[in-house]
Structure 1
Amino acid sequence: MSEVTIYHNPSCGTSRNTLALIRHAGIEPRVIEYLKTPPSKDELRRLIADAGITVRGLLREKGTPYAELNLGHAKWTDEQLLDFIGQHPILMNRPVVVTPLGTRLCRPSEAVLEILPVGPVAPFTKEDGEQVTDPGTRVEPRS
């Protein structure tokens, strides 16, 4: 089993960039397409706790039934919100990456660099052409 796991949505550019960045670092992660295989409520609790975020911090609004379910209303408890994510996995923000160095909601995708068990990682170009440089990479100044 891989030491790195990504909860991935292949339709999401940030998720694709994060997966490509992990692979660019020489790691083949365990890929969980969470829309096909949603995490259990206990797994969600663990991911949230390990990432140091709130349940609301894991919720995604854009492109989801967030508004129609009125999830912005403060009346919902964390347990109820977890139930909504279980019923509608698209509500889970992505990608979430788990490594031996920690768990992160990797938005932006380069946030994954903080928890990769390798480094530094060579410069990487995202799908949109943006260049990502690992802060641990030494860049020689031009003379």
Structure 2
Amino acid sequence: MNVTIYHNPACGTSRNTLAMIRNAGIEPAIIDYLATPPSRAELIKMIADAGLTVRDAIRQKDTPYAELGLDNPELSDNQLLDAMLAHPILINRPFVVTPLGTRLSRPSELVLEILPETHKGAFTKEDGEKVLDAEGKRIV
């Protein structure tokens, strides 16, 4: 299965998402989107395929969001996209693209919606939260 993760290794959510993909027996294509941002067309497609608005896909925390005035509700999608491409840290993460769909995996468990149910067993996130039991079934 072809899986791509737009990853930030400094982000715990992104690391947990990557680990869940690997727990499903998949080695994804890993794109460090801060070093290699998606093209405008790729970003627009990921946002649309994930069922998000452009504003939904912007990261506010630990970014220049406020100082760039992006909290102005009158900004157009094109203006927001311009800012995201100029400052990739504004692209929320991690986006994961699979043949089963595209998700902004926040929380990281959302990636399970677009992965086959081939998990190799239990999975616990970095913070100790149990996500999958020993049989690879989701813990609710």
Aligned to 1:20: 19
Which letter does structure 2 place at the counterpart of 1:40? Answer: S
Equivalent-residue separation in structure 1 for 2:75 and 2:117 (angstroms):
41
Which letter does structure 1 place at the counterpart of 2:23? Answer: H
Equivalent-residue separation in structure 1 for 2:80 and 2:104 (angstroms):
17
Which letter does structure 2 place at the counterpart of 1:137? Answer: K
TM-score normalised by L of structure 1:
0.90
Report % sequence identity.
66
Q: Deviation string for 1:36-79 (max 9, x for gaps)?
A: 00111111111011111000010000000001011111121000
| 8 Å Cα contact 2:98/2:114 also seen in 1 | yes
1:7 correspondence with 2:16: no
Shift of 1:99: 0.5
Which letter does structure 2 place at the counterpart of 1:50? Answer: D
Gaps of 5+ in 2: none
| 8 Å Cα contact 1:120/1:137 also seen in 2 | no
Aligned to 1:32: 31
Report SS of the residue matched to 1:84. helix
* Structure 1 residue ranges, 4+ long, deviating more than 2 angstroms after superposition: 120-123, 136-139
Aligned pair count reads 136
Shift of 1:137: 2.2
- The 5-angstrom pairing of residues 1-143 of structure 1 reads 3-116=2-115, 118-121=116-119, 122-133=121-132, 137=137
Report SS of the residue matched to 1:7. strand
Which letter does structure 1 place at the counterpart of 2:33? Answer: Y
Report SS of the residue matched to 2:68. coil
Which letter does structure 1 place at the counterpart of 2:17? Answer: T
Equivalent-residue separation in structure 2 for 1:113 and 1:15 (angstroms):
13
Equivalent-residue separation in structure 2 for 1:42 and 1:76 (angstroms):
19
Which letter does structure 1 place at the counterpart of 2:8? Answer: N
TM-score normalised by L of structure 2:
0.92
Gaps of 5+ in 1: none
